Amino acid sequence: MTRVAGVGARACVRARARARGGGEARRGTNSRMFAAASSGRANDAVFVAHGAVETSRALADACGGAVKLIERAEALARTNASASLEAARALAEHAEVASGGDANISTRAREIELEHGRRVILDAYYAETARAARRQRNRSAAKPKKRARDRACRKPKARQGWTRPEMRERNARTCVGCEKIEAKDAMFRIVRCSVTLDNGKQTTTVKYGADADGACGRSAYVCKTRCCVARATKNKSINRALRCSVDKDAYDALAKAAAVIEDDAGVDTSGLTFVRPEGTAARWSAPGVWL
């Protein structure tokens, strides 16, 4: 920022002062200017400029001429460091003044000045971007590295090995007995329907078996096995799933239907016990197992 501010006339004065030998000389110039202004001299600028021209000429003489001086400035500018460019710019200025307005030297000095200006702008830009990057880094460092919520969201949901499109296509439902996800048509369906009575009152009935086909309402599903129906009966899982009371008749009918199906297949699952796999907290990750 200081460099940007220094592009103007003040920087020229400072550079010349540096060439003359530091702060002493600068203070000298200022006091001379002040003296000139206070004594009412007509053109103090000319007085100061006269001193600057002398310095420039002395510098040029020391280097062996204004051309040599500008060559030196160009060599310095070619090193391409910010500090060298600033020095090169000051030298070029002196060369220009010492040459007395030579067109060639003026053009070369102008080139160096332009290069210096470009560098000043670039430096300011890089400093600003670095500051922004630092600010950004500090801000992200303050943020906790892992947010539990994010991890939970990104993890694919456990669906007992089913993919989402598969579940939609095959109408996957969960058994209230063993919590296994299965296609809808492979299970018994129990439906809670609302019925309007003759006196205009509404009541709920539970439909199952053939009655349930095409019936609308909240549904529960059970595997077509004795064990699942028995566990659902014991736990009153259908009551819970339908959020209403379910008659014993419904459970008995389901048990009977399951027995018929199992007898046809020649299996009997009534003696099996329900085991939840080790380490599966959620029913989504794995169903219970009948052993």
Positions that interact with Zn ion (CB under 5 A): 175, 177-178, 180, 223, 228
For the CB of residue 223, give the shortest distance to Zn ion in the complex, in Å: 3
CB of 135 to Zn ion, least distance (A): 58
How near is the Cβ of 231 to Zn ion at its closest, in Å?
8
State the nearest-atom distance from the C-beta of 176 to Zn ion, in Å.
Answer: 8
| Element counts in the chain: helices (H) and strands (E) | 12, 7
**Spatial contact of 230 and 270, defined as CB atoms under 8 Å apart:** yes
- Closest by alpha carbon to 60, among 88, 29, 96? 96
Instruction: Give every CB contact of residue 29 below 8 A, 6+ residues apart in sequence.
Output: 13, 17, 48, 51
Rank residues 74 and 287 by Cβ distance to Zn ion and give the closer one: 287
Strand order in the sheet with 187-196: 202-208, 187-196, 218-223
Q: Do residues 85 and 119 lie in contact, with contact meaning Cβ atoms separated by under 8 Å?
A: yes
For residue 272, how far is the Cα from the chain centroid?
A: 53
What is the greatest pairwise CA distance in the chain?
127
How long is the chain? 291
CB of 156 vs Zn ion, minimal distance in Å? 24
